[in-house]
Amino acid sequence: MLVWASAFAGIRAALQDYSPFHLAVSRFLVSSCLLVLLAFFNRIRLPERADLPRILLTGFFGIAAYNAALNYGEMTVTAGAASFIVNTVPIFTTLLSLFFLREQVNLFGWFGMIVSFAGVSLIAIGESGGLQLGTGAIALLCAALFLGLYSVLQKPLLAKYGAFNVVCYAIWTGTIGMFVFLPGLTQQIKAASVSSTLAVIYLGVFPSTVGYLCWSYVLSQMPASKAAVYLYLIPATAIVIAFVWLKEIPSWMSLVGGCIALCGVVIVNILGKPQPNKPLDQRQTDCLIKTAPVKPGVG
């Protein structure tokens, strides 16, 4: 939780000299190289051909799409406010289960979603300075959706391959998917300040590698509902880290909106958990998503 919370401030620091997309690819180039070194000492299992589509989607949504959207959103949204918006991932996971798994959401669940999105709207107003939903807030909502997809897609892979293998698959495939952002990266690294480049390295080693490995291990060892309780600590921790690192704090409206959004997430998780409706047969399950919704990882 600590390294993921620090990612929001680290991204804001690196964006001083790096574009959102160069930051995304450079951060995960660092992480990929570190995982190659770790894989040298830990025998990694090659994935089965039948699992390749799911692995590719996991890397695309959880690494490439999520981080590109997150970095773009943080260009205009403070680190603390961004952490509140991204922490709405359980809302999107619940919606995904509604459409793909035919699960039902009770009235408390819908009420919690409305409360959460009302809070996000307040954040957007507080960060944009007016009655508008800025592109930064929209990008962060997209990032939350992508992370929800990542959490759902990786669950069956964890049971089959283990946390280390799944993280390697996701980060390597996601990094390859971001190779389209490589042009101009060398020139940007040369022009960037030392502090911004160190922030990129920090993001690659700790939030990207350590954070993803820890979260995947947790999901493979305990129920996601129990692990998700700790995710509620991220926004508050991110605000403290951003204040110490960047002397940055969200507006009062953003803080109030963040608390409201977090309350909505808690309502959905505790009172509005979806219940199974009509079970899918094996053929339908193979075409859709095979696992029950799980809570997010971030950063």
Give the contacts of 82 (CB within 8 A, at least 6 positions apart): 8, 70, 73, 74, 140, 238
Work out the average pLDDT over 269-285: 54
Work out the average pLDDT over 265-278: 66
> Does the pLDDT of residue 269 top 80, yes or no?
no
Among 63-67, 161-165, 217-221, 246-250, name the most confident range. Answer: 63-67
Give the contacts of 211 (CB within 8 A, at least 6 positions apart): 3, 4, 7, 297, 299
Top pLDDT among 79 and 103 is at 79
Confidence of residue 170 (pLDDT cuts 50, 70, 90): very high
Work out the average pLDDT over 255-279: 73
- Whether residue 275 contacts residue 104, with contact meaning beta carbons closer than 8 Å, is answered with yes
> Does the pLDDT of residue 128 top 70, yes or no?
no
What percent of the chain is predicted at pLDDT more than 70? Answer: 84
Q: Using alpha carbons only, what angle is made at residue 212 by residues 116 and 223, rounded to the nearest 5 degrees?
A: 65
pLDDT at 299: 62
- Whether residue 141 contacts residue 82, with contact meaning beta carbons closer than 8 Å, is answered with no
288 three-state secondary structure: coil
pLDDT at 171: 96
pLDDT at 208: 93
> Does the pLDDT of residue 148 top 90, yes or no?
no
pLDDT in tens, 190-204: 999 999 999 999 999
> Does the pLDDT of residue 23 top 90, yes or no?
yes
pLDDT in tens, 86-120: 877 777 777 776 776 566 777 887 888 888 888 87
pLDDT at 294: 46
pLDDT in tens, 194-230: 999 999 999 999 999 999 889 888 877 876 656 666 7
pLDDT at 289: 45
pLDDT at 131: 47
pLDDT at 81: 84
Give the contacts of 292 (CB within 8 A, at least 6 positions apart): 97, 101, 155
